[in-house]
Structure 1
């Protein structure tokens, strides 16, 4: 019985993360969004997911990622957490 209770609790705490494709936003800027549904994920992890995707995108071009803006939405544990990053790729 304890095993079933523990498994049920872990399932409720598990989170599903999705990261959007990089999208041009004009003027040499791009956007990428990371979203976590469910669980109790720390905001730092949500933000890090979008920053990593942006960094990978710029590195593929031989450039360095420059963060322009980061907006967060949602309430941890209640609604989906979302980190929307606006960035540009600059020469190293």
Structure 2
């Protein structure tokens, strides 16, 4: 019985994370979205995933990432969590 409870608890805490490809948003801006389904992932980790992907994208171009906007959607542990980052790559 204890094993069943432990496995159930781990299943609830487990999360599936996906990070979108970088997409042009016009005017030299781009978007990237991180989505987490299930689990209890802190918002800071979700936002950090989008920021890391954007930074990697700009670094590949020899530029620096500049955050323009960050929108979050969802409720931790209840609905999918999503962090949508709008950013620009600027000369360093």
Q: TM-score category by the smaller chain?
A: over 0.9
1:84 aligns with 2:71: no
RMSD: 0.6
Deviations 1:69-89 (A, max 9, x none): 000000111000000000000
Deviation at 1:4, TM superposition (A): 2.2
Unaligned runs of 5+ in 2: none
| Unaligned segments of structure 1, at least 5 residues | none
TM-score (norm. length: structure 1): 0.97
Match of 2:66 in 1: 66
1:50 paired with 2:50, answer yes
Residue 10 in structure 1 maps to residue 10 in structure 2: yes
Q: CA deviation at 1:3?
A: 1.8
Moved over 3 A (4+): none
State the TM-score, normalized to the length of structure 2. Answer: 0.97
